[in-house]
Amino acid sequence: MTYREALRRALDEELARDPNVFLMGEEIGRFEGSYKVTAGLWAKYGGKRVRETPISEEGFVGAGVGAAMIGLRPVVEIMTINFIVPAMDMVVNHAAKVRSMFGGKVGVPMVIRTPGGAGAQLTAQHSQSLEAWFAHVPGLKVVAPSNPWDAYGMLKTAIRDDDPVLFVENLVLYNLTGEVPEEGTDITVPFGLANVVREGTDLTIIAHSYTVRRALNIADRFLQDGISVEVIDLRSLRPLDIDTCIASVKKTTRALVAEEGWATFGIGAEIAARLHRACFDELDAPVERVGGAEAPMPYAKNLELAALAQEDKIGAAARRLLADCGLVDA
């Protein structure tokens, strides 16, 4: 099943399971969504459960917050993560803070689904990975699954959660195929638990979302040189499972954190800081970080590829780190 189909199946099952669940977003009904994740759901559940909205992110995210506060469970689709910027006030100042400001008596059980990432020549305003902004905010949960199984299981977990969840997808992942739970099973994937997707002994690469796929390809290449790379899929950014990362780095003694977003003040910066404190005596070299170019994303394809944290950039950083430790030639 594709990543897109896994998301659709999770939405379908949760709509059928709980009458308080409903969807909101631009063009998600008759048009079936810009990325066809919601295909067939409007026809099946009708306009009350699959609600099309105006092009007003602040308005319909705010409506979602209000609906969640009175007991409904909205799943709000933002067409791309770039378009969440007009709704930042609703996400950061309202959804994230209601439970605390109301003494725990009122929550916001809302999911915001949105794709991010770059690589399709959509230019600077449509090619961003902004999940680090939201992982910075207490009161929000932020997840970014990298495969269909986790997309299915974590979306179900998000819909059932009593707090607001930002569910970050990646445009490049929608056509990725992989295993999902058998139909008729009710499997969820917990937040705050990273997944060791490949065991290794010489280097730990920590990533999330589509960058996990790149890390796995790099691990295959290094295996040809006799270098064993362990790959950790964070899956959840807030809550963050740093313990799995620490255990891995204490074993391999070397770490690289890769992300598609900008590295400055990014996910990798937080993880590197924690690893340096927890693994100071075990590290053979400082934790390496790789992110996208510190510039607005260019339109020209060659420049876009140069700006992305592609496999060649991550692989080169890994090789430098291993060379500093004498495991490979520089």
Considering the domain architecture, whether residues 163 and 285 belong to the same structural domain is answered as: no
- Please give the average per-residue pLDDT across 87-106, as a whole number: 96
Is residue 185 assigned to a domain? no
Q: Which of 173, 206, 228 is the last residue of a domain?
A: 173
SS3 state of residue 195: strand
Considering the domain architecture, whether residues 223 and 107 belong to the same structural domain is answered as: no
Considering the domain architecture, whether residues 223 and 140 belong to the same structural domain is answered as: no
Beta bridge partners of 196: 232
Is residue 92 assigned to a domain? yes
pLDDT of amino acid 185: 87
Considering the domain architecture, whether residues 107 and 200 belong to the same structural domain is answered as: no
* Structural domains in the chain (count): 2
Considering the domain architecture, whether residues 276 and 160 belong to the same structural domain is answered as: no
Considering the domain architecture, whether residues 168 and 211 belong to the same structural domain is answered as: no
pLDDT of amino acid 61: 97
The full DSSP string for 52-63 is E--S-HHHHHHH
Is residue 182 assigned to a domain? no
Q: Quick check: 123 and 297 in contact, CB under 8 A? A: yes
Cα Rg for the chain, rounded, in angstroms? 20
- Please give the average per-residue pLDDT across 207-230, as a whole number: 96
Domain CATH code at residue 253: 3.40.50.920
Q: Is the pLDDT of residue 43 over 90?
A: yes
What is the C-alpha to C-alpha distance for residues 4 and 122, in angstroms, rounded to an integer?
A: 20
Percent of the chain, pLDDT > 90?
A: 95
Rounded alpha-carbon distances, angstroms, from residue 88 to 24, 34, 187, 222: 17, 22, 32, 41
H helices of the chain, in order, are 3-17, 41-45, 57-69, 88, 98-101, 131-135, 148-160, 211-223, 242-252, 267-278, 301-307, 311-324
Q: Is the pLDDT of residue 292 over 80?
A: yes
Please return the burial class of 25, using the count of CB atoms within 10 Å of its CB with bins 0-12, 13-18 and 19+: buried
- Please give the average per-residue pLDDT across 61-69, as a whole number: 97
- pLDDT tens digits for 146-203? 999 999 999 999 999 999 999 999 999 999 999 999 988 889 999 999 999 999 999 9
Q: Is the pLDDT of residue 321 over 90?
A: yes
Considering the domain architecture, whether residues 29 and 156 belong to the same structural domain is answered as: yes
- pLDDT tens digits for 246-266? 999 999 999 999 999 999 999
Is residue 248 assigned to a domain? yes
Q: Is the peptide bond before 86 cis (omega within 30 degrees of 0)?
A: no
Mean pLDDT (the chain) is 96
Considering the domain architecture, whether residues 19 and 86 belong to the same structural domain is answered as: yes
pLDDT of amino acid 312: 94
pLDDT of amino acid 296: 94
Is residue 285 assigned to a domain? yes
User: Is 260 known to be catalytic?
Assistant: no
Range of the domain at 284: 195-324
User: Is 208 known to be catalytic?
Assistant: no
- State the pLDDT confidence band at 329, using cuts at 50, 70 and 90: confident
- Please give the average per-residue pLDDT across 76-91, as a whole number: 96
Catalytic hit among 27, 52, 126, 311:
126
Considering the domain architecture, whether residues 223 and 131 belong to the same structural domain is answered as: no
Catalytic hit among 5, 32, 57, 260:
57
Domain CATH code at residue 72: 3.40.50.970
pLDDT of amino acid 80: 94
Is residue 19 assigned to a domain? yes
